[in-house]
Amino acid sequence: MWGWIKPEIPATKNFSDMERTQKLMFVFQQIIICFSLSKLITASSSSEADALVKWKNSLSSSSSSSSPLFSWRLSDHQNLCNWTGIACDASVSTTEIDLTDQNLYGTLAQFNFSAFPNLRTFNLNTNNLNGSIPSAVGLLTKLKYLFLYSNKFSGFIPSEIGNLTDLQQLDLSANELSGSIPQTIANLASLSVLQLFSNNLSGTVPQELGNLSSLVVLSLDDNQLHGELPSSLVHLSNLQHLSLATNNFVGNIPQDLGSNSPNLSLVRFSNNTFSGQLPAGLCSGFLLRELTVNSNNFSGKVPDCLRNCSELIRVLLDGNQFSGNISQAFGVHPNLIFVNLGRNQFSGEISPNWGECSNLTNLQLHRNRISGSIPVELGKLSQLQVLELDSNELTGAIPDELGNLSKLYRLNLSRNHLMGEIPKKIGNMGKLEYLDLSVNNLTGGIVEELGLCANLLSLNLGNNHLSGQIPYELRNLQDLQYLLDLSANSLSGQIPQNLDKLQSLENLNLSHNHLFGKIPETLSNMISLRSVDLSYNDLNGSIPDGSFQRGLYIGNQGLCGNTAGLPPCSTSSNNGKSHDKDKKITIGVVVPVVCLLFLAAFTTVIVICWLQKTKKHDEEIITSETDDSEHWIWEREGRFTFRQIVKATEDFNERYCIGKGGFGSVYKAVLQAGLVVAVKRLNKTESSDSPHINKQSFENEIRALTEVRHRNIIKLYGFCSKQASMYLVYDYFERGSLGKVLYSQEGAMEMSWGQRLKIVQGLAHALAYLHHDSTPPIVHRDISINNILLDSDFEPRLSDFGTARLLSSDTSNWTTVAGSYGYMAPELAFTMRATEKCDVYSYGVVALEVMMGKHPGELLHTLSLLVDDSDFLQKNVLDQQLSPPTGQVANDVVVVIRVALACTSSLPESRPTMRLVAQQLLAGTQA
């Protein structure tokens, strides 16, 4: 037994000791490795944290507790991966810096690019960063996504950007970059998105861009690029979006462009000087959704493949020299929404196939050589809003079926050879605002049903063969503003007295007819008239007062008055009986007038004495004012004095303050009889500049609001100027601002989709009034959700005109930038020129915010590419606090989003006017 055990024990013992030693050594090595790696990781994260903090400290206002970068602190570098906008990999090395829309001010001069060897995403879009893009950006060799768009970067695009060979998306758009596009970009073999639009880039497009075989999106819009396009672009086989609009390009488009790009879906060549024909293979993949090549010198026929592009949504060919048979150029396009083929040389007839484009909202074929009749099938276009067929060679009658176009707001069939009578069904077009049937061969009378088109702003039936009398029903067109032209017809009878109901009308032309009798005196009440032409009729008697004194009356033998070309009216008569009668009338008129004047003078003296007494009493109550202070209150409803306002607010005690901002504070005052008003107090400050700024702001607001009359613009009761302060007295709204309601959970839930649509529409009408119906036009300059008030029914009221600027023809619009961050148009950052298009941009942002329940921020750029994807918009963009809209409401919401996105175009000239916005919302929604 011992003989078996004895030799085995020593051997077993020696093996176990060796194994144990090896294991211990292995564990020890692992500990050393882990410790070393830990130190390396700690050193790496500490180095990156140090680089980030140094850059942070170079930015303006980055150290305050309210700064978005407040979490960036060296004392907390162990939590680098939890810092705002930072993401890391497993080795705690920074892989992502995303500081989108963080209101950052500063430059990249102090950013240490070499400290981030593993960075994959660098996203600083939608901030206020300026200066140049450092060449050291080329050190980020693992970068895949570089987004610096919507900042104020200037200088050249560094050629070192070509070192980022892993880069997949590069977006430097909406900055102030200059110089040429570096050829080194061609080194980025993996690049799929290249967006450089809205800069000041010059030079030509590098031939080397054709080497980017992975490129899907190429957007160079709105620069100063010139020359011809390189032929190498035809090799971009994966290209889907090609956007080169608003540059200085010339010459022909490479004729093979599109032939090797079967997925091409968007082509924009607008606003250049291209010539020649469009490439035959531009739509060879039949996936084209948008083709906008307007305002160039293109000629010849459009590509045959366009007829088979069933995905087409938007086509703009206007302002070129295209020719060919228009009926053969297009087929049936069920998704088509917008078509403008105007100002070309198309011939042929209008195809009935247009009636199958059921989503069409705009059909503009004006100023071509189109002949034949208007197809009755156009009456099937239930979504149509604009139909312009003017300046062609159309014949036949106007189809009754056009009366089915209930959403139409603009109809122009002028300058053709149309005949027959005006269809009575035209009265079914309840949303019609512009109707022009002039310069045709129409006969019959002016149909009474036109009086049902109560939204008409302009009506032109001139230069036809219309007969009969001017119908009484035209008095119902009380929104008629720009034009009523019935000239050069065969109208007879007298001018209706009830035309004085057209109080907004600016231009009236009834010339070259057979009208007789006197011009009704009641027409002198048409105070908005700027021009009147009643020449070449059979009118007699005297000219009415007012605007009619400046009218044209030649060719009326019986007219008289103190107007050029007319004899003076006789003041004497040989008839003694008539003289006696006139004398009695004179006495009967003069005596009461003298009595009234005496009574008015006496009343005036009494009122002045009472006002002086009241003023003195008010000045005694407000002891803080000096003897030379001014006091004035303009009352429009009810009687209240400044003294009552002071009393109601306990001399503007802070507990009555309901808001602060802009140039002062707002107080709530409950006056007699339960009248509740909001009082805005503008105070002078210690700054030497502030009194001037406050006074200007105050006077601007007064001037604007005292002349504005609109249901969606806040009502001004009066104003008061004191030596120490200035005051505005507004209507009061319990709900407060749109921002207050939208960003409170209870308010947002209460604000239904229907109410949101009403808010967006009301605001559009308010701005359309300010821009187009006010003389001079008013630019608000500070539209935001905080400057829109809501009444109890969620009806919006535009307020805070403290920064408004009246645009008159003899006044410069160059001024200091005013507005709210996040709502200002991008061009204000460098032009400082406030125009109506700045308001349009701000409106678009507000409309999107109302629908999304949050500020759109960086999504503005993404949404513009998805504007036609209704399902995506409804599922991913709308406010998730509400149940998704359904049915017609869902369609209306999508219309609003599309219009709002058009308003936020980076190009001011591409934004619609507020008049057009209001019209599109009116025609496209049921709200």
Q: Which of 164, 243, 160, 234 has its CA nearest to residue 196? A: 243
Whole-number Å distance between alpha carbons of 589 and 599? 16
Amino acid identity for residue 740 in this structure: K
Residue 51: helix, strand or coil by DSSP?
Answer: helix
H or E element at residue 800: none
Quick one: three-class SS letters along 887-918? HHHHHHHHHHHHHHHHHCCCCHHHCCCHHHHH
Count of alpha carbons within 13 angstroms of residue 655, beta-carbon side: 2
Q: Does the annotation mark 782 as catalytic?
A: yes
| Residue 652 CB neighbours (<10 A) | 18
How far is residue 927's CA from residue 916's CA, in Å, rounded to a whole number? 17
End-to-end CA distance of the chain: 105
| Cis amide leading into 568 (omega within 30) | no
What's phi and psi for 875, nearest 5 deg?
-90, -30
> Which amino acid, one-letter code, is at 752?
S
Q: What are phi and psi of 479, to 5 degrees?
A: -90, -5
782, 839, 879, 892: the catalytic one is 782
Let me know: does 346 contact 322? Beta carbons within 8 Å: yes
CA-CA distance, 473 to 369, in Å (whole number)? 36
* CA 385 remoteness from chain centre: 19
If we measure between CA atoms, which residue out of 708, 823, 718, 812 comes closest to residue 768? 708
Q: Binding site annotation covers 142? A: no
**Nearest CA among 435, 445, 366 for reference residue 405:** 435
Kindly provide the b/e burial profile for residues 716-728, where b requires at least 16 CB atoms within 10 angstroms of the residue's own CB.
bbbbbbbeebbbb
CB atoms within 10 A of CB 373: 14
Cα separation, 443 vs 58, whole angstroms? 76
Nearest-Å Rg of the Cα atoms of the chain is 36
Task: Dihedral sign for Cα 800, 842, 149, 190, please.
Answer: positive
Name the residues annotated as catalytic: 782
Question: Residues annotated in the binding site for ATP, as ranges?
Answer: 680
Question: Residues annotated in the binding site, as ranges?
Answer: 680
